[in-house]
Amino acid sequence: MWRSTRGVAILTASLLASPALAGFDQDAALRESQAAIGRQVGGYALYDTSGRELRLESYRGKPLVVNFVYTGCFQVCPTATKFLQGAVRDAERTLGPGSFRVATIGFNLPYDTPQAMAEFARKQGIDSPDWKFLSPEAGTVEALTRDFGFRYEATPAGFDHLLQVSIVDAQGRIYRQVYGDAFSVPQFTGALLELAQNAPRPAGGIVGLIDKVRLLCTVYDPASGRYRFNYAVLIELFVGASIIVFGFATVIVEWRRKRPG
């Protein structure tokens, strides 16, 4: 059975300081990642777990989710991939199965072979026709990762890198980057829903917040093959907000009542 010569990578996808990342410039990595948004990803030859060639541009036509791993990592990369698996399932419940695809790409050549990627997928329990585990063509890793704004650095223990998931639109342009081994699932699902509804929007601001609520309340109806507004979610949000406001109001009233005259 294939084994990497590297050990476990100790890294963090949060932007908090970490002794393990003392030599890794997280700010520069984040800037490079954000600068990739809107970039057209080039055409690259990749190989699936059976060793068959698959061109990256063949994914165009539907949104694509991409994350990078190295199979010699036995802690963080598997944990992040398992979390992504849950987020993908959540997005599929909202958008419907087959509405987007996922590609996990190994960046540590020559070790991340198709066989190694197959073993990595098996260990994570991922066996979906819409999720491929891929090995890049030799000599293209640097250009491929640069297109995605993904920076990594070799260390004696493995690799330091920013944990990121890239969401690519149907034309092959990077639309969103989400970060962490436990990122915001509504943010992830919302970005895919925007693309599925052909309604891309810039992130941030009040409008972005309103859109996130709207997207959170939108669900896919497999019976009609359409998206519909889920008022039950809106009611739950309203009730939750009302409870919070009532609680604050009660605290203020009690504080004023007990305050010395």
Structural domain contains residue 103: yes
Number of domains in the chain: 1
Residue 53 lies in a domain: yes
Vertex 209, ends 206 and 213: CA angle to 5°?
A: 140
Is the bond into 110 cis (omega within 30 degrees of 0)? Answer: yes
Instruction: Examine residue 11 and state whether it is found in any structural domain, yes or no.
Output: no
Please report, to the nearest 10 degrees, the dihedral formed by the alpha carbons of residues 53, 60, 80, 130 taken in order.
Answer: -70
Give phi and psi for 200, each to the nearest 5.
-65, 145
Interatomic CA distance for residues 175 and 38, integer angstroms: 6
Give the structural domain span for 116: 19-182
From CA 174, how far away is CA 67, in angstroms rounded?
Answer: 12
Q: What is the CATH number of the domain that holds 94?
A: 3.40.30.10
Phi and psi at residue 226, to the nearest 5°: -130, 170
Domain assignment present for 95: yes
Under DSSP, is residue 190 helix (H, G, I), strand (E, B) or coil?
helix
* 6 found inside a domain: no
The pLDDT tens digits along the chain (261 residues) read 222 333 223 233 333 223 344 567 888 888 999 999 999 999 999 999 999 999 999 999 999 999 999 999 988 899 999 999 999 999 999 898 899 999 999 999 999 999 999 999 999 999 999 999 999 998 999 999 999 999 999 888 889 888 899 999 999 999 999 998 888 899 899 999 999 888 776 655 444 444 445 445 544 444 544 445 555 655 766 777 788 887 787 888 777 777 665
Of 55, 52, 51, 59, residue with least CA distance to 43: 55
- Under a CB-based contact definition with an 8 Å cutoff, are residues 70 and 112 in contact? yes
Token couple for 55? 């061109």
pTM here?
0.71
Rg of the chain (C-alpha set): 21
- Evaluate whether 150 touches 177 at the Cβ level (below 8 Å): no
Distance CA 211, CA 217 (A): 10
In this structure, is residue 223 part of a structural domain? Answer: no
Q: Which helix (H) or strand (E) holds 81?
A: helix 76-95
Domain for residue 37, yes or no?
yes
Classify residue 41: in a domain, yes or no: yes
Task: Give yes or no for a contact between 114 and 135, defined as CB atoms under 8 angstroms apart.
Answer: yes
